[in-house]
Amino acid sequence: MLLIWNRPGFTEELSEQERTALFGEVDEIMKELTETGELIGGQALANPSQTLTVRQVDGNPEILDGPFMESKEQFAGYLAVDCDSPQRAAEIAARWPDVRYGGAMEVRPIMDEAGTEM
């Protein structure tokens, strides 16, 4: 699983040309991963302002508007890939354009239901 973290609002600072180039780059990577059969799925998350946060307050769950984790980066979406090695996954992550704009990609294995006999 490739978790996409980026700086909130970074696309607002981009010129139209830069933004088009970024979307094109994303399309290109997605197309390539579809062709290699490595793409399983992915979702982009809406702007953090759309967030609801559920938390327990005085023993009861409360639903609040907005994200409450103060961080420089927001969780922006994910990409699920099926590849031969973690190195290959990291290679894909390294090409994701958000990384160039101050974001980060977190590469984490997905838990499997299959087990080894011990």
Partner 1 sequence: MTGDRTVEDLLRTFAPQVLGLLVRRYGQFDRCEDAVQEALLAAATQWPGQGVPDNPRAWLLTVATRRLTDEWRSESARRDREVAVARREPAYAGVAPAADAEPTVAADDDTLTLLFLCCHPALPGSAQVALTLRAVGGLSTAQIARAHLVPEATMSQRIRRAKQRIEAAGARFTMPGPAEREERLGTVLRVLYLIFNEGYTASSGPDLRRTELTGEAIRLTRILRGLLPDDGEVAGLLALMLLTDAHRAARVGPDGELVPLAEQDRARWDAAAIAEGIALITEALTWSPPGPYQLQAAIAAVHAEASTAAETDWPQIVALYRLLARIAPNPMVTLNQAVAVAMVDGPRAGLALLTPLDADERTAGHHRLAAVRAHLLELAGDVDAARAAYLAAARGTTSRPEQRYLEVRAARLTGQH
Task: State the helix-helix crossing angle for 86-95 and 16-36, rounded to 10 degrees.
Answer: 160
Are residues 105 and 98 in contact, defined by beta-carbon separation less than 8 angstroms? yes
Rule CB under 8 A: is residue 90 a binding residue for partner 1?
Answer: no
Rule CB under 8 A: is residue 112 a binding residue for partner 1?
Answer: yes
Rule CB under 8 A: is residue 63 a binding residue for partner 1?
Answer: no
Which C-beta is closer to partner 1: that of 76 or that of 81?
81
Are residues 74 and 5 in contact, defined by beta-carbon separation less than 8 angstroms? yes
Q: Binders of partner 1: how many residues, by CB under 8 A?
A: 20
* x-marked contacts with partner 1 along 24-53 as a string, rule CB under 8 A: ----------xxxxxxxx------------
Q: Is 74 exposed, middle or buried (0-12, 13-18, 19+ CB in 10 A)?
A: buried
Which C-beta is closer to partner 1: that of 21 or that of 40?
40
